[in-house]
């Protein structure tokens, strides 16, 4: 084993987005690319001398090789210890849990989340801090700065570390501890939820189908849902993580989890369907004949939280990202809870959770979580729903109908226009931003605008201000649209259009029909079709 100091120079584009650095896999495989970024993380956090890190990934193509690079670089940079998931696997929530439980200084998660994997797919690297959460803005800025000024990186030349079995090993003076990726996480879930009630639900004949989408949640879901809770064998589908996710797109939404949707909308659907994404932090909830939007899911969890042992004493507060529907706001208002609206990105919830201001958080992008860790958590959301169903003994559709009858319904949908020409997408947003001050009081298609803002967030805990987080336009009739460019795509620009309209009376409309006036107003406001040359969104969630 020898320590090498390799001269290098900055590489364009090494700037983390909404959640870490995501690029095409072949970009990460270029000489020095991964090494430059890993060294920049180490330099950006003030070095790793004597520190303990957690390491794991979602099992996608290049995960195993990249993990070995991180280990050799951590050792060469004098880290004391790396705790790594067996076979370099850890779901994002399990990594967050491990960082917190073991008091690690931080962790590196190898994942591009729900983006497809494989040689032609995407790869990603995220850094999480000691609270277990995604690096906040000051840390990502420091990493970006380090990447922009990098001149060398340190790495060992060494054989690969055997990550196939749990246990302790030495890598040139650094301890490598290989751990079972599932055990700690599964124990935490057992502490939070009423496993006896959920087991009894399954014993009563309740049926479940969980689609792990060939991604990292498979081993977790099999161990918890089938082995511990007694869901019938085979309830978890696509349970073995594959490097290319079975050539699928591991994004749990009605488009990419279509097989599951077809089953759940069919005549002999199981009682409950769910799916998770590449790295296990997202979730999709479906009842028999009934899809639950992530925004409604958050609201239902908040309204029923006291049925879950961990939240039996009530919630400290709730938080949602700004584009997420205001369904949870109505629950918060009814329960007298504080409700925060943050920019998109789980990292913005960290301070609220650490400060004990919020217990539950959620995003329209299929993420829900709580203060049990500092990441969103797909399987946790599934268990939360199962706990509610076990206690209330109603169907998913009945629970939703009951919820809307109490609180009214926030019709909601997101329309995505993917792989747009970046300049075109940026011009569309910039033009609209320039017009914001003139919009209130004027009409757009069938609606009149009442407010228009370029969303900025003042963090109530650390006082920081984050600007330019999306254009939020409100219409009369309790409707709004928000537009922003995604920070997780790897090809051109993705324009996200978030549509919402509240209705206290008509609770059973088709969501797209209910939102048609908002969509028409948005088209009138942006001239989106002509400007992008697109007739329809690529993805509707
Ligand atoms: C990430 C972030 C989420 C965010 C989502 C979408 O999720 O962790 O907080 O809502 O991206 O971001 P954007 O709209 O910028 O594409 P994940 O599951 O991809 O890590």
Q: How far is the CA of 343 from the centre of ligand 1 (A)?
A: 11
Burial 169-189 (b: 16+ CB within 10 A, else e): eebeebebebbbbbeebbebb
In the 8-state DSSP scheme, what is residue 359?
A: S
**CB 282, CB 276: distance < 8 Å:** yes
320 lines ligand 1 (CB under 6 A): no
Contact status, residue 36 vs residue 125, Cβ threshold 8 Å: no
- Using CA atoms of 260, 231, 218, 494 in order, give the dihedral in degrees to the nearest 10: 30
Residue 410 corresponds to which tokens in the numbers above? 């926030």
Query: CATH: 3.30.360.10, 3.30.110.40, 3.30.40.10, 3.40.120.10. Which one for 185-407?
Result: 3.40.120.10
Q: Which of 367, 374, 429 to mutate to test the pocket of ligand 1 (most atoms within 8 A of CB)?
A: 367
The rounded percent of the chain whose pLDDT value lies above 70 is: 100
Measure CA 256 to chain center: 16
Instruction: Provide the token pair at 328.
Output: 């949870």
| E strand or H helix at 170 | strand 167-171
Provide φ and ψ at 336, rounded to 5°: 70, 35
pLDDT at residue 405 in the model: 97
Q: CB under 8 Å to 244, separation ≥6 — which residues?
A: 60, 61, 116, 117, 118, 121
Q: Which atom of ligand 1 is nearest to the CA of 487?
A: 15
In the reported structure, the alpha carbon of residue 13 is separated from the centroid of ligand 1 by a whole-number distance in angstroms of 19
Please give the backbone phi and psi of residue 54, each rounded to the nearest 5 degrees, phi first.
-105, 145
Instruction: Give start and end residues of each alpha helix (H) in 77-134.
Output: 92-101
pLDDT tens for residues 308-325?
999 999 999 999 999 999
Distance 487 CA to ligand 1 centre (A): 7
Contact predicate 451/440, CB 8 Å: yes
Please give the Cα distance from 41 to 77 (Å, whole number).
11
| 3-class SS shares of the chain: helix, strand, coil, % to 5 | 35, 25, 40
281 lines ligand 1 (CB under 6 A): yes
Residue 486 CB less than 6 A away from ligand 1: yes
Cα 186 from chain centroid? 19
Q: pTM of whole model > 0.85? A: yes
* Structural tokens at position 420: 């747009």
pLDDT 10s digits, 85-117? 999 999 999 999 999 999 999 999 999 999 999
Whether the CB-CB separation of 64 and 88 falls below 8 Å is answered with yes
- Ligand 1 mean position to 162 CA, how many Å? 32
Burial classification of residue 440, based on how many CB atoms lie within 10 Å of its CB (0-12 exposed, 13-18 middle, 19 or more buried): middle
Q: Which atom of ligand 1 is nearest to the CA of 376?
A: 8
Decide if pLDDT at 139 tops 80: yes
Strand pairing class (360-363; 317-321) = parallel
Q: Which of 507, 533, 536 is nearest to 519 (CA)?
A: 536
Hey, whose CA ends up nearest to atom 19 of ligand 1? 113
Q: Please give the mean pLDDT across all residues of the chain.
A: 96
**Hey, what's the torsion of the CAs at 300, 301, 303, 308, to 10 degrees?**
140
- In the predicted model, what is the mean pLDDT of residues 120-146? 95
Is any atom of ligand 1 closer than 6 Å to the C-beta of 370? Answer: no
Residue among 290, 309, 82 at smallest CA distance from 191: 309
**From CA 300, how far away is CA 96, in angstroms rounded?**
25
What pLDDT sits at residue 489?
76
What CA–CA distances, in Å, run from 217 to 183, 232, 484, 503?
Answer: 13, 17, 29, 36
| Burial class, 341, CB count within 10 angstroms (exposed 0-12 / middle 13-18 / buried 19+) | middle
**Quick check: is 113 catalytic?**
yes
Q: What is the pLDDT of residue 32?
A: 97
The candidate with the shortest Cα–Cα distance to 474, out of 458, 498, 495, 457, is 498
CATH 3.30.43.10 fits 409-540, yes or no: no
Each residue's pLDDT tens digit, 220-255: 999 999 999 999 999 999 999 999 999 989 999 988
Q: Give domain 2-180's CATH number out of 3.10.20.90, 1.10.3720.10, 3.40.120.10, 3.30.465.10.
A: 3.40.120.10
Fold matches, 2-180 and 409-540: no
The finding on whether 114 has its CB within 6 A of some atom of ligand 1 is: yes
- List, in order, residues 6 or more apart from 268 with CB less than 8 Å away: none
pLDDT tens digits for range 262-296: 999 999 999 999 999 999 999 999 999 999 999 99
Domain ranges of the chain: 2-180, 185-407, 409-540
Question: What is the Cα–Cα distance from 392 to 398, expressed in whole angstroms?
Answer: 10
Would you say the CB of residue 378 lies under 6 angstroms from ligand 1?
no
The confidence band for 487, taking pLDDT boundaries of 50, 70 and 90, is: confident
């Amino acid at each position: 084993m020898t320590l090498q100091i390799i001269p290098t120079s900055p590489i364009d584009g090494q700037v983390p987005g909404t959640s870490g650095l995501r690029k095409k896999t072949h970009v990460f495989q270029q000489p020095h690319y991964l090494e430059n970024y890993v060294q920049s993380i180490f330099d950006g956090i003030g070095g790793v001398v004597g520190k303990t890190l957690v390491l794991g990934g979602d099992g996608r193509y290049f995960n195993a090789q990249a993990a070995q690079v991180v280990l050799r670089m951590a050792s060469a940079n004098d880290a004391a210890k790396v705790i790594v998931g067996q076979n370099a696997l850890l779901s994002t929530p399990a990594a967050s849990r491990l960082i917190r439980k073991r008091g690690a200084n931080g962790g590196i998660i190898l994942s591009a989340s729900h983006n497809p994997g494989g040689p032609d797919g995407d790869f990603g690297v995220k850094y999480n801090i000691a609270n277990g959460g995604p690096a906040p803005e000051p840390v990502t800025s420091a990493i970006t700065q380090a990447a922009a000024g990098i001149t060398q990186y340190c790495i060992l030349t060494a054989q690969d570390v055997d990550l196939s079995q749990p246990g302790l090993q030495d890598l040139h003076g650094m301890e490598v501890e290989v751990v079972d990726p599932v055990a700690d996480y599964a124990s935490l879930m057992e502490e939070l939820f009423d496993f006896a009630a959920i087991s009894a639900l399954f014993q009563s004949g309740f049926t479940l189908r969980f689609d792990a989408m060939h991604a990292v949640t498979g081993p977790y879901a099999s161990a918890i849902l089938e082995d511990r809770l007694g869901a019938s064998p085979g309830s978890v589908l696509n349970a073995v993580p594959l490097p290319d996710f079975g050539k699928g797109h591991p994004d749990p939404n009605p488009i990419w989890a279509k097989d599951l949707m077809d089953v759940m909308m069919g005549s002999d659907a199981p009682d409950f369907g769910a799916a998770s994404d590449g790295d296990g932090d997202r979730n999709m909830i479906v009842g028999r004949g009934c899809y639950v939007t992530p925004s409604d899911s958050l609201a239902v969890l908040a309204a029923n939280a006291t049925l879950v042992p961990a939240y039996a004493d009530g919630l400290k507060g709730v938080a949602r990202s700004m584009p997420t529907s205001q369904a949870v706001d109505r629950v918060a208002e009814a329960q007298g809870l504080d409700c925060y609206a943050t920019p998109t990105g789980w990292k913005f919830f960290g301070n609220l959770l650490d400060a004990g201001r919020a217990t539950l958080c959620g995003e329209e992008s299929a993420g829900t979580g709580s203060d049990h860790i500092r990441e969103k958590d797909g399987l946790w959301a599934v268990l939360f729903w199962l706990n509610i169903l076990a206690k209330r003994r109603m169907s998913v559709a009945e629970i939703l109908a009951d919820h809307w009858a109490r609180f009214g319904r926030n019709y909601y949908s997101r329309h995505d226009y993917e792989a747009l020409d970046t300049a075109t997408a940026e011009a569309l947003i910039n033009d609209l931003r320039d017009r914001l001050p003139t919009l209130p009081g004027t009409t757009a298609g069938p609606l009149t605008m009442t407010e228009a803002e370029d969303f900025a967030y003042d963090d109530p805990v650390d006082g920081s201000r984050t600007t330019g987080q999306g254009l939020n336009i409100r219409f009369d009739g309790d409707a709004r649209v928000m537009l922003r460019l995604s920070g997780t795509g790897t090809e051109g620009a993705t324009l996200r259009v978030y549509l919402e309209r509240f209705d206290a009376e008509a609770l059973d409309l088709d969501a797209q029909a209910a939102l048609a006036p908002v969509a028409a107003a948005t088209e009138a406001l942006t001239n989106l079709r002509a400007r992008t040359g697109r007739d329809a969104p690529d993805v509707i969630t």
